[in-house]
Structures are given as structure tokens and as C-alpha cells.
Amino acid sequence: MRWLVRKAWTLVAVYFAYMLEYRGEIFFWMLSGITPFFFMSAWTAAANQGLTGYDANDYARYFFAVFVARQLGIVWAHWNMSEDVRSGRFSFRLLQPLDPVWHYLADHVGERGVRLPMLAVVGLVFAWLYPEALVWPGAERAALGLVAVGLAFGVNFFASYVVGLLALWLEDATSIYNLWYVAMLFFSGMLAPLALYPDPVRQVLAWTPFPHLVYLPAAIWSGLEADATRGLLTLLAWNLFFFTLGRLLWHLGRRHYSAMGA
């Protein structure tokens, strides 16, 4: 247990230092994720004309929560894997008595350490621009939203890792992950609150991971309609699914790996 903690702490600390070297890049990456604010403008304009069921502050609050949930859920394990396989670095990972997935996970956690302070600055700017929109949801909802974000990160990470494992067959699997992103864009609540979607669509989507990745935490934080229990259980189930699929592909892919370029 002592060594487990030491390994985890060392990996996160070193990858945090690594990510600090790329703080500028992370800042611009974060800025590239401001899509929710464009949709916020469109929906608040519609709300001001009385065209929707929510008011302008509801939309501002919701899309800010979407932005935060999305920023905390961003993953790139598929890119890590593909790059490692292509460059031959994956062979070094295999030589260590540690599953390579821990390196990728630590890379993500370390990056969050750099991203969070920047996110706080964006939050302050938002609070200055939309003071009426920011309402403290209460400790319970805030915590519940964080749990949802944590589980959503898990689903995103394991799905990304599963796609990355395909690099053991294909050498580069980064493009495949774009499919996941497209599905997330349309079905996760990034374009509009899912409460506005037709009922049959919502019922089908509820079984997929997508609405729970962004809409669930954003709705919990911003006070919109959300079935938190069902959402969290669904996220948990998808975590288990992608984790298991990842282990299976790991064992199959290892047989296929040719250590190209190493």
C-alpha cells in the first residue's frame, strides 16, 4: 500500500511538472473549448425573445456549468497510446513492472493540476460578466456534480484508452476517437439542455453514456431537471463496461503488438 501511494504520488507529481512546461499550450487548448459560450449566446438571445422555457440566466448558468464539466472531462489517452506505439516509447512502458495505463492516468491528473487554476480565472471572468447567473447550488449539489464529473471522466478516459489500444493493431487510432467526440457534441447537452430534446430521444439517450458525461453534472450544478441516481448508476455501468473492454483488448493487443520502431 505504501508503494502504491508512492507510485501514484510520484507519477502525478512528475506529470504535473511536465504539464507545467506546456502551460501555454494548455491555456490555448482550454480557450478552444469555449464552444458552450457560443451556444449560450444563441440560447440566451432566444430566451430574451421568450422562445424557450428557461430564462437567460438559466442558460448562462447551464452553459458555464457545461464548460466546467467539459474541461474536467477532457481526455487524450487515445493520443498517448497511438503516439507511444508509433514512436516506440510504448516498448519502454512494457519493460516496466507497471501497467502503462497508470502513466496515462497520471498524465491526465497532472494536467488537471495545471488546468484548474486557469479554469478558476475563467470562472472569475464569467462571474464578473454574468453576476446574476452564478448561484451557489449548495454543498450537496456541488458535491454530487463533482461525483458525476469524476465518473464522467472515468468513462471518457476508459473509452479513450480503449480506442488507444486499437493502435496495437492499427498503429494510429486517434481518428476513431473523433466519432466519440461527434456523438458527445450532439447527445451530451453541449448544444442545448437535454431537457429541451423530445422525450423519445431522451429515453433512448438515457441508456448511452453521452447525456451523463456533460448534461448530468451541468444540470445538477445549474439546477435543471436531472435524474441523478439513474445518471450516476449509468455512468458507473459504462465505467465498468469500458474498463472490462480495455482489459480484454489489452490482452489481445499485446499478442498483436510488433514493437514497431523499437
Return residues touching another protein (CB under 8 A).
3, 6-7, 9-11, 13-14, 17-18, 21-22, 87-89, 91-92, 94-98, 254-255, 257-259, 261-262
Shorter beta-carbon distance to another protein: residue 38 or 92: 92
Contact 238, 160 (CB under 8 A): no
Q: What amino acid is encoded at 86 in this protein?
A: R
36: Cα within 13 Å, side-chain hemisphere? 25
> Least separation, in Å, of the C-beta of 17 and another protein?
6
Shorter beta-carbon distance to another protein: residue 22 or 38: 22
Rounded Cα distance between 36 and 212, Å, is 16
> Least separation, in Å, of the C-beta of 254 and another protein?
8
> Least separation, in Å, of the C-beta of 89 and another protein?
7
Shorter beta-carbon distance to another protein: residue 53 or 261: 261
Rounded Cα distance between 139 and 143, Å, is 6
> Least separation, in Å, of the C-beta of 8 and another protein?
9
Shorter beta-carbon distance to another protein: residue 7 or 230: 7
Rounded Cα distance between 258 and 262, Å, is 9
> Least separation, in Å, of the C-beta of 222 and another protein?
38
How many CB atoms sit inside 10 A of residue 74's CB?
A: 17
Shorter beta-carbon distance to another protein: residue 18 or 29: 18
Contact 211, 205 (CB under 8 A): yes
